C-alpha cells in the first residue's frame, strides 16, 4: 500500500525515529540486523520484514538509517537488497550520514530502476530522535521531497526539514554541520581548560556565556557533559570519527582548505586513541583537558 513506510536500520537513532512514525499513524514495516529492536517495534504495531528486499516488496516509501556508506550500499545493492525488489515509483530516503559521492551514485542507480532517492542526513542526536525534533537536511528531487515531507516531519522539527538542493546536497550540508560542531567542541573544551587553570569556576563561565553572543547548543548540551563528566553516548565518538573521515575526503574532493577542521580531526582521532570510541563525542574535551595538565573529571582537579 502506498502509505506504508518501510524502515531499515533500528539502531540508536533509527529505533526512536521509527517509533515516531508509528505514533504519527504511518503503517510501518521494519527490518534490522539485530532482532531485539525489530521485536520492540513489532510489539508497538509495526510489521516484520525478512530482509531489505522484503521491505521493498511491501512499501514504496523506504527509509534507511545505518552507520556508513558501505552499510547503505549493502542494504540497497547487496544480496536480498532493496534494489532487487524495488517497485516503480518508490521513494527512498537515506537518513544515514555517508559520503556525498556515494549518495549521488546510489540516487542515479535508483533512477534507472524507476525510483527516486533522497539523501536526508539528520542532526540532533539520540535526544532529537526520541523527541522527534531532528534537523533533516535533504538533497534530491523537489517533487519527491514534497511527497515524503509529512513522513520526515513526523521524525523531525518541520521547520528544520529543509530541501538543500540536488542529490548529494543533504550530505554536503551534514559535512558542514559536523565541521561546525567540531570547531565548537574544541573551543568550548579550551575555554573550560583556561577557566580551570586560572582558578575560575567553569560552571559560572558557562552560565554567563549562555546569556550572551557566545551561546550555542554545543556550549549548552556538550558543555554540561564536560562539566559533569557524563559521557554516556548520545552520539558515539566512533561514529563522529567516521563522519570526520567523510569531512576530510569531501574537503579534498573540492580542494576546499579547512585548517581548523584538520586540527579537530586530529583531536577526534586522539579521543579514539584514548579508548573513548564508545563514549559520547563530547569526550573530545578530555583530550584538551589532558593537554592542559588537567583531569577529565567533574571536580576540576
In angstroms, the CA 26 to CA 4 distance is: 6
Rounded Cα distance between 34 and 218, Å, is 32
Per-residue three-class SS string for 155-201: HEEEEEEEEEECCCHHHHHHHHHHHHHHHHHHHHHHHHHHHHHCCCC
List beta partners, residue 108: none
What's the number of CA atoms in the CB half-sphere (13 Å) around residue 122?
30
What length does the chain have?
301
- DSSP reduced 3-state for 178: helix
How many other C-beta atoms can be found within 10 angstroms of the C-beta atom of residue 2? 10
Note whether 118 and 94 are within 8 A (CB). yes
Catalytic annotation present for 174: yes
What are the grid coordinates assigned to 80, written together? 536480498
- Which residue bears the cell 537518513? 95
* Residue 77 grid coordinates: 545493492
CA pair distance 241, 7, nearest whole angstrom: 25
Which SS3 state, helix, strand or coil, does residue 296 take?
Answer: coil
Cell numbers describing residue 163 = 530541501
- CA 13/CA 9 separation, integer angstroms: 9
Task: Report the distance separating Cα 284 and Cα 142, nearest Å.
Answer: 38
- Helices then strands (H, E): number in the chain? 14, 9
Distance CA 158, CA 153 (A): 5
**Active-site residue (options: 19, 23, 149, 174):** 174
Catalytic residues: 174
Amino acid at each position: 500500500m502506498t502509505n506504508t513506510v518501510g524502515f531499515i536500520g533500528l539502531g540508536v537513532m533509527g529505533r526512536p525515529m521509527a517509533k515516531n512514525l508509528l505514533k504519527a499513524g504511518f503503517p510501518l514495516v521494519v527490518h534490522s540486523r539485530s532482532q531485539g529492536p525489530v521485536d520492540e517495534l513489532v510489539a508497538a504495531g509495526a510489521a516484520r520484514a525478512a530482509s531489505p528486499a522484503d521491505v521493498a516488496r511491501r512499501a514504496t516509501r523506504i527509509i534507511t538509517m545505518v552507520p556508513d556508506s558501505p552499510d547503505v550500499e549493502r542494504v540497497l545493492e547487496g544480496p536480498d537488497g532493496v534494489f532487487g525488489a524495488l517497485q516503480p515509483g518508490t521513494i527512498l530516503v537515506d537518513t544515514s550520514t555517508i559520503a556525498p559521492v556515494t549518495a549521488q551514485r546510489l540516487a542515479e542507480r535508483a533512477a534507472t530502476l524507476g525510483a527516486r532517492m533522497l539523501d536526508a542526513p539528520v542532526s540532533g542526536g539520540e535526544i532529537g530522535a526520541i523527541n522527534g525534533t531532528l534537523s533533516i537536511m535533504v538533497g534530491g528531487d523537489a517533487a519527491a521531497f514534497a511527497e515524503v515531507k509529512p513522513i520526515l516531519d513526523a521524525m523531525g522539527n518541520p521547520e528544520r526539514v529543509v530541501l538543500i538542493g540536488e542529490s548529494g546536497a543533504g550530505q554536503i550540508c551534514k559535512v558542514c554541520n559536523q565541521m561546525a560542531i567540531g570547531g565548537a567542541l574544541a573551543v568550548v573544551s579550551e575555554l573550560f581548560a583556561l577557566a580551570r587553570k586560572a582558578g575560575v569556576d567553569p560552571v559560572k563561565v558557562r552560565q554567563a556565556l549562555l546569556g550572551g553572543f557566545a551561546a550555542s547548543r554545543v556550549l549548552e548540551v556538550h558543555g554540561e557533559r564536560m562539566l559533569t563528566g557524563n559521557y554516556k553516548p548520545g552520539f558515539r565518538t566512533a561514529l563522529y570519527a567516521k563522519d570526520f573521515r567523510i569531512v576530510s575526503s569531501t574537503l579534498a574532493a573540492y580542494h576546499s582548505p579547512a585548517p581548523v577542521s584538520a586540527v579537530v580531526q586530529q583531536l577526534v582521532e586522539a579521543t579514539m586513541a584514548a579508548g573513548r570510541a564508545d563514549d559520547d563525542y563530547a569526550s573530545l574535551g578530555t583530550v584538551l583537558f589532558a593537554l592542559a595538565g588537567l583531569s577529565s573529571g567533574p571536580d576540576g582537579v
